[in-house]
Structure 1
């Protein structure tokens, strides 16, 4: 399978002050998909600056573009409910003409985890996040494929939730499940059309690029086992690598040759089918040379084959 190259457009620009143009340029450059983060806010320096909602941003991008796939990397239960999210996704899939991918993960312990809490409430523990994720994904799957859903669970309820006419993409829009632990990988195997990873955060902090690739190899092997355990061929899942969080940092974006070497190693050695790079943002962890970024978008995939 040929490698796909995608990008992330963080929702930090006003639509009429460069936001719209960025999505149009992503389509012109030929990216397979342009994703955005689905957060209420994110880390410094973005915490104290503009940050717009993912679903409205993607809706606007869907009306401005024609061919580009669009998606979230990633949506989580931190501030979403499956019933209302399903309605928004069906609408977004319709507006885009069936060009939406839902990246979905269990969520972390950042700002999204605390913004909606009352003063005496504690953030969810990792176990509770995993428990919620384990109920959220199967329910969302049903909501996007069945006309009417009733569900009474531990964390989420649906009472004759109706979602007619359903998605343009059948049986529903694809899920790209972000996971590294056994429970999340099982969800990816059961419900995902793709699997997403950013690497191993423990290795990212102190490790080397070689150690990062070895950690990724371990994740891929665990995904294969999760698929085998339910009788699914792991080759059915796309494997998406969201870059920018490994010891390589932005070094792969320093030149076309550097990126081709980086992407080729992850494609050939680890089986990744899609590499996602962040659109450069000055004075952030995603700072990179815009012209080199554009050359990578224009030239790299052809070299990788």
Structure 2
């Protein structure tokens, strides 16, 4: 399989002031998927404009034809499976079956307290995620669902006509720990990693490769445990959070080298952030577009 190249478009621009043209340009450049973050606000963008993921993706679906669309990632921090399923079924219909749900356990950032709750511990996030994913799987696959869990409930939740994509739209499950990886192996069509966050500040690219190799090997072992054919599970690297940071976007050759080293670890999709000036995702837009247009052919 050829290595796919995708992008993340952060939802910080007004739709009629650059937002729309970014999504249409992503399709023109040939990206496989354009994702967006599903947050209420995020890190250094906290005090600036930030728009909702599902309305943004709905608008993007209306101005594109081939580009796949998705979240990277949605989490239980402020989502409930019943209402999320209804929005996703609607988005999948509007897009003509072009939606991928990137989903993760969430973190301790602004989303974790925006609804007025105390932030959950890592254990609590993992417990909720372990209930969230299977319930969402059912809601997107069955016409009517009733369920009573420790954290989430559904009472005769109707989801007719279901997804355009059958049996449901694909899940790309972000996970680095064994519980999350088991969810990826059981319910995911793809597994997502950003690498080892402990190496971001002071690690080396070589250490990062070793850490990601270790993650991939653990996933292989878990797939074997649950009887999942590991070749059926796509592997997605969201870049920008490894020690190389923006280095791979410095030139076409730098990116091809970076992507090739990760393709050797079994990755099937590399995701790069659309450039944003004066941010951690700053990059030369001409080089970015050159990478989008030329790197996939070099990586086949």
> Is 1:83 paired with 2:82?
yes
> Is 1:251 paired with 2:247?
yes
Aligned residues: 300
Q: Specify the alignment match of 1:278 in structure 2.
A: 273
Task: Show structure 2 runs of 5+ residues with no match.
Answer: none
- TM alignment of 1:282-301, pairs within 5 A: 282-301=277-296
* Structure 1 residue ranges (4+ consecutive) displaced by more than 3 angstroms after TM superposition: none
Distance 2:118 2:294 in 1: 48
SS at match of 2:146: strand
Cα deviation for residue 205 of structure 1 reads 2.1
Distance 1:23 1:101 in 2: 16
Cα deviation for residue 174 of structure 1 reads 0.1
Q: Specify the alignment match of 1:237 in structure 2.
A: 233
Q: Specify the alignment match of 2:28 in structure 1.
A: 28
Cα deviation for residue 153 of structure 1 reads 0.2
Q: Specify the alignment match of 1:18 in structure 2.
A: 18
> Is 1:71 paired with 2:70?
yes
Q: Specify the alignment match of 1:38 in structure 2.
A: 38
Q: Specify the alignment match of 1:140 in structure 2.
A: 136
SS at match of 2:6: strand
Deviation string, structure 1 residues 80-126 (Cα, Å, up to 9, x no partner): 00000000000000000000000000000000001111xxx521111
- TM alignment of 1:63-212, pairs within 5 A: 63-117=62-116, 121-212=117-208
Distance 1:263 1:226 in 2: 25
Deviation string, structure 1 residues 2-45 (Cα, Å, up to 9, x no partner): 0000000000000000000000000000000000000000001x
Distance 1:4 1:127 in 2: 33
SS at match of 1:205: coil
Cα deviation for residue 206 of structure 1 reads 1.4
Deviation string, structure 1 residues 181-210 (Cα, Å, up to 9, x no partner): 010000000000000000000111211000
Distance 2:99 2:137 in 1: 15
Distance 2:9 2:298 in 1: 24
Distance 1:259 1:11 in 2: 24
Q: Specify the alignment match of 1:59 in structure 2.
A: 58
SS at match of 1:221: helix
SS at match of 1:177: strand
SS at match of 2:46: helix
CA-based RMSD of the aligned residues comes to: 0.5
Deviation string, structure 1 residues 262-286 (Cα, Å, up to 9, x no partner): 0011002x11000000000001000
> Is 1:216 paired with 2:215?
no
Cα deviation for residue 166 of structure 1 reads 0.3
